[in-house]
Amino acid sequence: MRHLGDDVSALVDGQLPPARTEEALAHLVLCERCASLVAVERASRHHLAQARDVPPDDDLTWRLLQVANTPPPVPAHGARALAGRAWQPLATGRGRRRALV
């Protein structure tokens, strides 16, 4: 049998089909390398499950709320809108600008 490779995560998650699970478990008995990978994967999952949420800093929360409450800029209309578009770069070519027509 080949090494587990990408099946390590699926085995730990219980997502392998029953026949493949049986093969993988039999392989773990004989292969120290794969058994070690499975042990590390299980330990990682266990540690992640035990981790607590990290509360955000009050200053960060305040700044994010300020950004959320800032109204979007009002788009220009009429001649101002045309002038603004005239200075936008063209889709192709470097450094060329649109000319007002």
Which residue's entry shows tokens 């042990």? 39
| Low-confidence winner among 17-21, 48-52, 87-91 (lowest mean pLDDT) | 87-91
At residue 92 the predicted structure's pLDDT band, cuts being 50, 70 and 90, is: low
At residue 11 the predicted structure's pLDDT band, cuts being 50, 70 and 90, is: very high
The residue ranking higher by pLDDT, 90 or 74, is 74
Dump pLDDT digits (tens) for 43-74: 999 999 999 888 889 999 999 999 888 887 76
72 belongs to a structural domain: no
Is-contact 17 25, C-beta < 8 A? no
- Write out the residue range of the structural domain in which residue 28 sits: 6-50
96 belongs to a structural domain: no
80 belongs to a structural domain: no
45 belongs to a structural domain: yes
Is-contact 51 65, C-beta < 8 A? no
The residue ranking higher by pLDDT, 81 or 62, is 62
> Is pLDDT of 98 > 70?
no
Prediction pTM value: 0.51
Q: What share of the chain is helix, strand, coil (3-state, %, to 5)?
A: 60, 0, 40
Q: What counts of helices (H) and strands (E) characterise the chain?
A: 5, 0
Q: How many domains does the chain have?
A: 1
Token couple for 79? 């001649």
79 belongs to a structural domain: no
20 belongs to a structural domain: yes
74 belongs to a structural domain: no
